[in-house]
Amino acid sequence: MRLPADHALVQAEVERVYRADSRRVLATLIRLLGDFDLAEEALHDAFAAAVDQWPRDGIPASPRAWLVSAGRFKAIDRVRRRARFDNAQEALVQHLQVQLEQPEADDSRSVDDDHLRLIFICCHPALSRDAQVALTLREVCGLSTEEIASAYLSKPATLAQRIVRAKSKIRSAQIPYEIPAPAELSERLGSVLQVIYLVFNEGYSASAGHRLMRHDLCGEAIRLGREVYQLLPEPEVGGLLALMLLHQARGAARADAQGELVRLEQQDRTQWDRAQIAEGVALVEASFRSGRLGPYAVQAAIAALHAESVSFEATDWHEIVALYEVLMRLTPSPVVALNRSVALAMRDGPECGLAQLDQILAGGELGDYHLAHAARADLLTRLGRHDDARAAYTQALALVQQEPERRFLQRQLAALDAESMVRH
């Protein structure tokens, strides 16, 4: 028999369980109830019941199982009330009644599978990429609509509509709530990894706004990466997790005390998180040992070379250029080519890098990409072509959306003007 518990202790335990397990409880409820919105209502009802009952009845031995069970009963109560006014709900009542009569296993593997199913359904290729990201952040990560809208500079109403449409698409297309079969897993896993990396990138270098980083988004992406890797320890999953860890390890040094952007070559490497670097490097090595290299593992290897170098000058640029050439063969893109040109400039000199970069810009695909013009301005500055560098920085400033990057470019321009005054 459970004894009544202290109310404050129970409240603390409810909050702990919510932080640790609410998304897993939601995933299981979605599977049992077959409906996102009903499952979300059931989740909230279950936690409200816990706040009410656990101080009186005691904390259950398995809080997660208790919440799933309570959520199922609360859901069918809701549907029964609606059925009084809507005969179409009667079929759902019958379905849920059958579900209630089946005992729900609480083994961790079943719950973890439910959560993995939820990740895959939120990243289903039938949904647009914007919808995949929004639904993943809302349902898998538990961020509010307002938080997601703030991260992506959208109106909450617009984000809410996007999420509603995504759920409607899942219902109308009868997308199965399942982990893909092995034959489909590779293709579907790619979508999951891309969404996780999009979330991380938005946290690590926000596309616009006043903050350089959104640590909550970075943390959620890494947590998801860990979870997917634990359940599906594929080399490319490990590569993505490594890439995020190695970038995040430099987070504390990317801005100074005033929040201003600090370039890689000027960062205080004593601020880098060595534990995250060690974990990331170990994952890179495991991915390379598998012999099945993908783009994330190669990018992580590049990040590892930066992270393990004692200084910017000591960086192994020869190896970095070689890895970018591998990456170009795996996933050729103008952005990869841009990064390769910067690495070439460090290995062979700014003239070589600039020639490659000008060739990329001549192709027209990066004309609106502020980082391409900023990189060109930096190379022109290194070559002493200050008027051309000023024009390139001005072009980058016209395109940049993020305030810390804008201020950084303005400082670079000011430094060029100050140097010009000294020369004259």
Residues 59-90 pLDDT 10s = 999 999 999 999 988 888 888 877 665 555 55
User: What per-residue confidence (pLDDT) applies to 399?
Assistant: 92
Give the Cα-Cα-Cα angle 124, 129, 130 (nearest 5 degrees): 125
Bigger pLDDT: 378 or 178?
378
User: What per-residue confidence (pLDDT) applies to 283?
Assistant: 97
User: What per-residue confidence (pLDDT) applies to 107?
Assistant: 45
Q: Which helix (H) or strand (E) holds 218?
A: helix 215-231
Range ranked top by mean pLDDT from 185-194, 314-323, 402-411:
314-323
User: What per-residue confidence (pLDDT) applies to 148?
Assistant: 81
Least confidently predicted of 23-37, 77-91, 185-199, 318-332: 77-91
User: What per-residue confidence (pLDDT) applies to 182?
Assistant: 74
Bigger pLDDT: 286 or 101?
286
What does R_g of the chain's alpha carbons equal in angstroms? 25
pLDDT-based confidence at residue 358 (cuts at 50, 70, 90)? very high
What is the C-alpha separation between 154 and 166, in angstroms, rounded? 17
> How large is the average pLDDT for residues 247-275?
93
pLDDT-based confidence at residue 393 (cuts at 50, 70, 90)? very high
What is the C-alpha separation between 132 and 191, in angstroms, rounded? 9
> How large is the average pLDDT for residues 132-160?
84
Q: Are 147 and 129 in contact (CB under 8 A)?
A: no
What is the C-alpha separation between 120 and 57, in angstroms, rounded? 37
Q: Over 80: is that where the pLDDT of 421 sits?
A: no
How many other CB atoms sit within 10 Å of the CB of residue 418?
A: 10
pTM of the full predicted structure?
0.78
Q: Over 90: is that where the pLDDT of 8 sits?
A: no
User: What per-residue confidence (pLDDT) applies to 108?
Assistant: 47
CB-based burial of residue 155 (10 Å sphere; 0-12 exposed, 13-18 middle, 19+ buried)?
Answer: exposed
User: What per-residue confidence (pLDDT) applies to 203?
Assistant: 84
Give the Cα-Cα-Cα angle 335, 342, 396 (nearest 5 degrees): 65
- How is residue 224 written in tokens? 């998801």
Range ranked top by mean pLDDT from 14-28, 99-113, 265-279:
265-279
Q: What is the mean pLDDT of the chain?
A: 87
- How is residue 395 written in tokens? 């072009």
What is the C-alpha separation between 248 and 370, in angstroms, rounded? 23
DSSP three-state, residue 363: coil
DSSP three-state, residue 148: helix
- CA of residue 200 relative to chain centroid, distance: 3
User: What per-residue confidence (pLDDT) applies to 215?
Assistant: 82
Residues 87-140 pLDDT 10s = 555 555 566 555 555 555 444 445 567 888 888 899 888 899 889 988 988 888
User: What per-residue confidence (pLDDT) applies to 95?
Assistant: 60
Q: Spell out where 112-197 has E strands.
A: none
Q: Over 70: is that where the pLDDT of 162 sits?
A: yes
User: What per-residue confidence (pLDDT) applies to 268?
Assistant: 95
The amino acid at residue 321 is: V
Name the residue among 93, 108, 116, 105 with its Cα closest to residue 33: 93
What is the C-alpha separation between 151 and 422, in angstroms, rounded? 42
**Residue given tokens 């509010």 in the structure block:** 144
Question: Between the CA of residue 63 and those of 4, 24, 27, 107, what are the distances in Å?
Answer: 15, 12, 15, 13
Give the rounded percent of residues in the chain with a pLDDT score beyond 70.
89
**Residue given tokens 């199965």 in the structure block:** 176
Residue 364: left if φ>0, alpha if ψ -120 to 50, beta else—which one?
left
Q: Spell out where 182-274 has E strands.
A: none
User: What per-residue confidence (pLDDT) applies to 342?
Assistant: 97
User: What per-residue confidence (pLDDT) applies to 31?
Assistant: 87
